[in-house]
């Protein structure tokens, strides 16, 4: 395969118009037709895995020369396992039920009429992302499954990888007879600015930014099209004095195991003032043995000089690395207030043996998801669920929580009269 066809990329307006026209056609395709496209896309990725890895090697070499941050390098790196995971997700999506057009009861009634609602495609979705080349394939799968067209706008660090993956996806789309323009790529260095894309609200129906908080905030500031804000990192754990040390350790370590992006990683831990110093020392040593950097607030650093001081601005920022900061609070109420003020608001946890504390936490935390004595670890393909997730959203807008197939749909109400008036 070759990426020569991307040497003269479309401008955002042209890509958006083509995607819009393709979305009108794709929305009329039946579920089996779209599923056939997903399987063809998966097969194209599988057959061209070496080609994609070679393109990724070019990106990694160029990024190292340009001193791209280690964090983004890790996100950028592709492995056979990561490509295979994307292939499995596309195939799994093809096996799921059709998310659109199924009839549901409406929430209201009119006299002499029957009302029902259906989930329908949004139309054109734009993914603005950095690193994570395989995320383009996963997003394409979710979009095709839900009857949407996709415009990808990756970072310059992943140009060759994204181009190779999109070429495979486009080959699968064409083989399955789906509309040309279903999946398109705007290269960062040639395809216009992010602003040029996210202000095309007449054609782009939803923008999803995915990456570091700086990228997400840039899209939020510039977009005039609707935005589904994704979130990553800066999740909090409140470790109650009644909570198990072993469980607290497990929740922290397991939350960092998401591959390759630590979406729900616990980066901050609030501890009650009465927590045993011996338990704290044991937890910190366990984390350090696993390669974590452990930080503390001024009070903890004063009592435990081996800790690194966490700056005031760090409590509201995501580390996105194996770093955990600890802070002392005087009560659960104070902990809930602090989390609501400083966490990223998408996944926060409590470890406690008190049912009253667990209920107070679950009701008081103003986040998309709360976890009680459970790890918030993010699974893009949960083992025991018929669904696939792109990421997590912390906004109180279009959708909140996990970003899945239904997040990429809208509701249409249909009123069927009986001729009586």
For residue 110, what pLDDT is reported?
Answer: 77
Tell me the β-bridge partners of 291. none
Using CB atoms within 10 Å of the CB of residue 51, give its burial: 0 to 12 exposed, 13 to 18 middle, 19+ buried: middle
CATH code 3.40.605.10 region(s) in the chain: 4-230+393-417
Domain 4-230+393-417, CATH homologous superfamily name and number: Aldehyde Dehydrogenase; Chain A, domain 1 (3.40.605.10)
Per-residue pLDDT of the chain (421 residues; tens, 9 = 90+): 654 444 455 789 999 999 999 999 999 999 999 999 999 999 999 999 999 999 999 999 999 998 888 888 999 999 999 999 999 999 999 999 999 877 777 777 777 778 888 889 999 999 999 999 999 999 999 999 999 999 999 999 999 999 999 999 999 999 999 998 999 999 876 656 899 999 999 999 999 999 999 999 999 999 999 999 999 999 999 999 999 999 999 999 999 998 888 899 999 999 999 999 999 999 999 999 999 999 999 999 999 999 999 999 999 999 999 999 999 999 999 999 999 999 999 999 999 999 999 999 999 999 999 999 999 999 998 876 678 999 999 888 767 889 999 999 988 888 888 777 6
The whole-model pTM stands at: 0.92
DSSP H stretches of helix in 149-212 = 159-175, 194-198
For residue 190, what pLDDT is reported?
Answer: 62
For residue 415, what pLDDT is reported?
Answer: 86
- Cα dihedral 297, 300, 306, 307 in deg (nearest 10): -30
Q: How many CA atoms does the CB half-sphere of 229 hold within 13 Å?
A: 20
Contacts for 52-56: CB closer than 8 Å, 24+ residues apart: 52/78, 52/83, 52/133, 52/161, 52/164, 52/165, 52/168, 53/78, 53/79, 53/80, 53/83, 54/164, 55/3, 55/160, 55/161, 55/163, 55/164, 56/133, 56/160, 56/161, 56/164
- The architecture CATH gives domain 235-372: 3-Layer(aba) Sandwich (3.40)
For residue 1, what pLDDT is reported?
Answer: 65
Please tell me the distance from the alpha carbon of residue 8 to that of residue 23, in angstroms, as a whole number: 23
Other CB atoms closer than 10 Å to residue 184's CB: what's the count? Answer: 27
């Amino acid at each position: 395969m070759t990426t020569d066809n991307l040497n003269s990329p479309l401008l955002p307006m042209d890509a958006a118009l083509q995607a819009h026209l393709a979305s009108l056609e794709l929305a009329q395709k039946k579920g089996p037709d779209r599923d056939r496209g997903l399987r063809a896309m998966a097969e194209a990725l599988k057959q061209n895995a070496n080609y994609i890895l070679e393109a990724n090697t070019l990106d990694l070499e160029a990024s190292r020369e340009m001193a791209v941050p280690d964090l983004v390098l890790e996100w950028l790196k592709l492995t056979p396992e990561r490509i295979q995971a994307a292939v499995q997700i596309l195939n799994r999506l093809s096996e799921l039920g059709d998310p659109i057009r199924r009839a549901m009861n409406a929430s209201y009634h009119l006299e002499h009429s029957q009302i029902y609602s259906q989930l329908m495609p949004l139309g054109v979705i734009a993914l603005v992302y950095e690193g994570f080349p395989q995320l383009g394939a996963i997003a394409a799968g979710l979009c095709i499954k839900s009857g949407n067209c996709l415009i990808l706008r990756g970072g310059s660090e992943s140009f060759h990888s994204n181009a190779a993956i999109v070429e495979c996806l486009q080959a699968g789309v064409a083989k399955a007879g789906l509309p040309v323009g279903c999946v398109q790529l705007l290269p960062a260095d040639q395809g216009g600015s992010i602003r040029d894309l996210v202000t095309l609200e007449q054609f782009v129906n939803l923008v999803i930014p995915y990456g570091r908080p700086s990228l997400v905030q840039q899209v939020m500031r510039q977009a005039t099209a609707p935005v589904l804000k994704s979130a990553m990192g800066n999740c909090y754990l409140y470790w109650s004095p009644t909570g198990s040390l072993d469980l607290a350790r497990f929740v922290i370590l397991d939350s960092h195991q998401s591959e390759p992006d630590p979406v729900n990683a616990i980066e901050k831990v609030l501890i009650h003032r009465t927590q045993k110093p011996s338990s704290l020392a044991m937890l910190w040593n366990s984390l350090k043995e696993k390669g974590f950097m452990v930080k503390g607030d001024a009070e903890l650093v004063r009592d435990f000089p081996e800790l690194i001081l966490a700056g005031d601005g760090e409590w509201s920022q995501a580390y996105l690395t194996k770093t955990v900061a600890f802070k002392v609070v005087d009560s659960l109420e104070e902990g809930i207030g602090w989390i609501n003020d400083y966490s990223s608001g998408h996944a926060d946890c409590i470890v406690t043996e008190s049912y009253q504390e667990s209920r107070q936490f679950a009701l008081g935390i103003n986040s998309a998801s709360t976890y009680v004595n459970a790890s918030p670890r993010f699974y893009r393909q949960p083992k025991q669920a018929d669904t696939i997730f792109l990421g997590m959203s912390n906004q109180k807008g279009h959708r909140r929580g996990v970003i899945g197939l239904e997040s990429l749909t809208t509701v249409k109400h249909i009123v069927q009269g009986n001729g009586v008036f």
